[in-house]
């Protein structure tokens, strides 16, 4: 049989595996991931209250559970198995490693305690193993950025723990969110509402949160019916117009949007106390920067430091090495965007892959505490059982050792 390796079990890697199975039924796929769990950004990136997007995991499970696919979780390609070893054993390796790095704010005070990249906050509330807890000082928060990740961060903080019990957020995070509630979020956007990248559905979600004042400076809003404006922008502007004219309430919680506000400085004595914007400053306890992600270079793989991606042609880095997803095209688009992206890469890969190969089983993980697909199914059962103890459908287990133990110990031996 012909074997192909995919590095990364997030949506882009799994969509690539699915496209391979679909187009070449004789191909077997080994999917490696450094996390003990599959689904990448669907598990650790998508906001926990976005249950519909999270349910993509069911489709990804069908691919990873296919008898022609093997999941090798808890295997870090590089430190555990060198990429060169993978390339020596597989005629084709697809890198689907995403954009795990974050852009730097690059302003004075950015290294003060009390500033965290949104990626770290997202890791924490989603229960990624090893995530750093969010600082407890977070009653007034500035979220910097005009994209949907900024909205996710603002919404999850404003929902608090009690507003997230219907999700799979780890129990300790729910407790922490309730014990240290956020009451005021300032959304700091460097350009105007028309140029911001918020999507209308994600903005509308704030309108369904109870007891929340929504505020935006009317002066920032252009006329909505100007010629040449596209439908998404018009809907976005209409939303902000609603927020700007909304009745002033006294809800005790607020989301205030500041447009045309490139942050100038973060300042404070020992930690962040305010964000300086042109002409004003906001007193805050925590700053979260949601200003985009970046790919990380992999040893031995070409890298474009400007774009933070691997240069490629239709997914081919060189014959035998391919990229798909955010490491290929940068951190844009929704989960489904990765499907077409993976199909393009797989089409290219298949033009290089000889038919009728008979590849030996490489078995590169024999000495490693690998999480297999049946190990993952044991984790799923444990997370459902843990959820049931608190009348929840499921609770994410965030401790790496516990995840690996559940996945690798014989059934019935793990509490």
55: contact with ligand NAP by CB under 6 A:
no
Number of H helices, E strands in the chain: 14, 17
98: contact with ligand NAP by CB under 6 A:
no
Q: Euclidean distance between the first and final Cα of the chain, in Å?
A: 39
Residue 306, exposed/middle/buried by CB under 10 A (0-12, 13-18, 19+)?
exposed
Q: Is 114 left (phi over 0), alpha (psi -120 to 50) or beta?
A: left
How far CA 401 is from CA of 81, 95, 129, 397, in Å, comes to: 20, 26, 9, 10
193: contact with ligand NAP by CB under 6 A:
no
- Stretch of 32-40, 196-204, 357-365, 398-406 lying at the interface with ligand NAP (CB under 6 A): 196-204
108: contact with ligand NAP by CB under 6 A:
no
- Stretch of 56-64, 148-156, 233-241, 265-273 lying at the interface with ligand NAP (CB under 6 A): 148-156
Comparing CB distances to ligand NAP, the nearer of 156 and 371 is: 156
- Stretch of 14-22, 139-147, 217-225, 279-287 lying at the interface with ligand NAP (CB under 6 A): 139-147
Cα angle value 284/50/177 (rounded, 5°): 40
**Strands across the sheet with 280-283, in order?**
265-267, 274-277, 280-283
Comparing CB distances to ligand NAP, the nearer of 224 and 337 is: 337
As a whole number of angstroms, the distance between CA 391 and CA 337 comes to: 35
191: contact with ligand NAP by CB under 6 A:
yes
Stretch 285-324: interaction string toward ligand NAP, x if CB under 6 A = -----xxxx-------------------------------
What is the maximum span of the chain, computed from C-alpha positions, in angstroms? 70
Out of 146, 170, 295, 308, the residue judged to bind ligand NAP by CB under 6 A: 146
123: contact with ligand NAP by CB under 6 A:
no
User: What minimum distance in Å lies between the beta carbon of 402 and ligand NAP?
Assistant: 28
Residues 261-280 that bind ligand NAP (CB under 6 A): 262-263
218: contact with ligand NAP by CB under 6 A:
no
Q: Give the total of residues touching ligand NAP (CB under 6 A).
A: 27
235: contact with ligand NAP by CB under 6 A:
no
Comparing CB distances to ligand NAP, the nearer of 38 and 193 is: 193
User: What minimum distance in Å lies between the beta carbon of 409 and ligand NAP?
Assistant: 35
Out of 171, 176, 202, 285, the residue judged to bind ligand NAP by CB under 6 A: 202
Cα torsion 333, 334, 339, 340: sign: negative
Out of 34, 68, 197, 402, the residue judged to bind ligand NAP by CB under 6 A: 197
Out of 10, 129, 147, 325, the residue judged to bind ligand NAP by CB under 6 A: 147
User: What minimum distance in Å lies between the beta carbon of 225 and ligand NAP?
Assistant: 23
- Encode 109-137 in three state secondary structure: CCCCCCEEEHHHHHHHHHCCCCCCCCCCC
- Stretch of 189-197, 344-352, 360-368, 392-400 lying at the interface with ligand NAP (CB under 6 A): 189-197
Cα torsion 353, 339, 153, 133: sign: negative
Q: Is 379 helix (H, G, I), strand (E, B) or coil?
A: helix
Dihedrals phi, psi of 7, to nearest 5 degrees: -105, 110
334: contact with ligand NAP by CB under 6 A:
yes
102's CB contacts (< 8 A; 6+ apart) are 117, 118, 119, 289, 291, 292, 293, 294
170: contact with ligand NAP by CB under 6 A:
no
Residues found near ligand NAP in the complex (CB under 6 A):
50, 103, 105, 144-150, 152, 190-191, 195-197, 202, 262-263, 290-293, 331-334
């Amino acid at each position: 049989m012909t074997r192909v390796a995919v590095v990364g079990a997030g949506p882009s890697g799994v969509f690539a595996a699915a496209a391979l199975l679909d187009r070449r039924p004789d191909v077997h796929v080994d999917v490696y991931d450094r996390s003990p769990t599959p689904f990448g950004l669907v598990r650790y990136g998508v906001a926990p209250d976005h249950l519909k997007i999270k349910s993509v995991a069911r489709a990804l499970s069908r691919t990873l559970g296919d008898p022609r696919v093997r999941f090798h979780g808890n295997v870090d390609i590089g430190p555990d198995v060198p990429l060169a070893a993978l390339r020596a054993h597989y005629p084709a390796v697809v890198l689907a490693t995403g954009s795990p790095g974050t852009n730097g704010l690059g302003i004075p005070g950015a290294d003060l305690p009390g500033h965290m990249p949104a990626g770290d906050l997202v890791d924490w509330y989603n229960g990624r193993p090893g995530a750093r807890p969010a600082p407890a000082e977070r009653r007034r928060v500035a979220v910097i950025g005009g994209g949907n990740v900024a909205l996710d961060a603002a919404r999850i903080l404003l929902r608090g723990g009690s507003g997230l019990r219907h999700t799979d957020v780890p129990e300790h995070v729910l407790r922490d969110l309730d014990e240290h509630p956020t009451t005021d979020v300032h959304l700091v956007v460097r350009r105007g509402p028309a140029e911001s990248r918020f999507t209308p559905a994600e903005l509308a979600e704030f309108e369904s949160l109870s007891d929340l004042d929504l505020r935006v400076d009317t002066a920032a809003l252009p006329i909505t019916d100007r010629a040449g404006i596209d439908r998404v922008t018009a809907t976005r502007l209409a939303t902000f117009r609603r927020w700007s004219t909304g009745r002033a309430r006294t809800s005790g919680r607020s989301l205030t949007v500041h447009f045309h506000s490139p942050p100038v400085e973060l300042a404070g004595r020992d930690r962040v106390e305010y964000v300086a914007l042109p002409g004003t400053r906001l007193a805050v306890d925590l700053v979260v920067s949601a200003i985009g992600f970046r790919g990380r270079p992999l040893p031995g793989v070409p890298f474009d430091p400007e774009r933070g991606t691997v240069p490629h042609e239709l997914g081919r880095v060189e014959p035998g090495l391919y990229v798909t997803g955010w490491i290929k095209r940068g951190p844009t688009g929704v989960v489904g965007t990765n499907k077409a992206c993976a199909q393009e890469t797989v089409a290219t890969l298949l033009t290089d892959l000889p038919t009728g190969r008979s590849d030996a089983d490489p078995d590169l993980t024999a000495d490693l505490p690998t999480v297999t697909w049946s190990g993952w199914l044991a984790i799923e059962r444990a997370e459902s059982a843990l959820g049931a103890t608190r009348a929840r459908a499921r609770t994410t287990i965030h401790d790496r050792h516990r995840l690996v133990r559940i996945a690798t110990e014989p059934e019935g031996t793990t509490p």
